[in-house]
A and B are shown apart, each in its own frame.
Chain A
Amino acid sequence: MVPLSHYLIFSATLFSIGVLGVLIRRNAIVVFMCVEIMLNAVNVSLIAFDRYLNQHDGQIFSFMVICVAAAEVSIGLAIVIALFRNKPTVNLDELNLMKW
């Protein structure tokens, strides 16, 4: 059997890769993809705990996470399109209209 710690380390690694991508990439759409990686990493650890504790709560919560991810992506990509209409770039460094 796979020990629970393997799943947790796997999940933490994926989460760190997602954070890394959000911090170093400047392309807005790739940043969204890295947020998706982080949400998926959380799902892995929720479901792993579920299996090891014989519960169903974690699966329900990862179901909610998938719903929130779907809503987040649709709104986020709509915002990207609206921004692109204003200024034809997805480089986050150039979108500094609200910078104080």
Chain B
Amino acid sequence: MELLIFYPLALVSVGLAMGVVFNKSPIGSAVCLIGMMLGLAGVFVLLQAHFLAILQILIYAGAIMVLFMFVIMLLNLKDDDKVWKVRERNVWLSSLAGALMVGVLYKIVNITAGAEFNAPAKVPDEFGTVEMVGTALFTDFVLPFEVPSILLLAAMVGAVVLAKSNVD
């Protein structure tokens, strides 16, 4: 039963991720990326990580993608013919890297498909709710919770400084 939900979600997510890479216009890529984030939120719900699914939609599909859209429209990016020009100098290197990537993917599929995984653990009903994740976050992981706040503060200041100053 869960497979029937998982396969369409996974196929749509992978297809939309390919759409991000192979779309000619940046706006099209951004729209595909939003769709992929929503598909991944569905996968998270399937994994009973409800809180993370909501965060995925709020932060990724909401905030981050709005920022992307804003910058794309601000810079008024048009479709770019030069984007798909193959650089002759790098053809062999690229082919080698692609072959290596396919090999790594094959190896991962091979290992994970052959491994003996137990059935999913028996989890309580409230697994992945705000209460459970919040309790873990504010008891065992207080320091890792504070570090990203410093990071976000630094990012905020850095973004303002970078976008404001006239570099020339």
Contacts and interface: CB of A to CB of B under 8 A. Distances in A.
A25 B87 CA distance: 12
A37 B17 contact: yes
A81 to B, nearest CB: 5
B99 interface: no
Contacts of B148: 64, 67-68, 71
A63 B55 CA distance: 8
Contacts of A50: 47, 49
A37 B159 CA distance: 22
A78 B158 contact: yes
A23 B119 contact: no
Interface residues of A, number: 70
B122 A54 contact: yes
Contacts of A9: 108-109, 112-113
Interface in A32-68: 32-34, 36-37, 40, 43-44, 47-48, 50-54, 56-57, 59-60, 62-64, 66-68
Interface of A: 1-10, 12-14, 16-21, 23-27, 29-30, 32-34, 36-37, 40, 43-44, 47-48, 50-54, 56-57, 59-60, 62-64, 66-75, 77-82, 84-86, 90-91, 93
Interface of B: 2-3, 6, 10, 13-14, 17-18, 20-21, 26, 29-30, 33, 36-37, 40, 43-44, 46-49, 51-52, 55-56, 59-60, 63-64, 67-68, 71-72, 74-75, 77, 80, 82-83, 87, 94, 97-98, 101, 104-105, 108-109, 112-113, 115, 117-123, 127-128, 132-133, 136-137, 141, 144-145, 148, 151-152, 154-156, 158-160, 162-163, 165-168
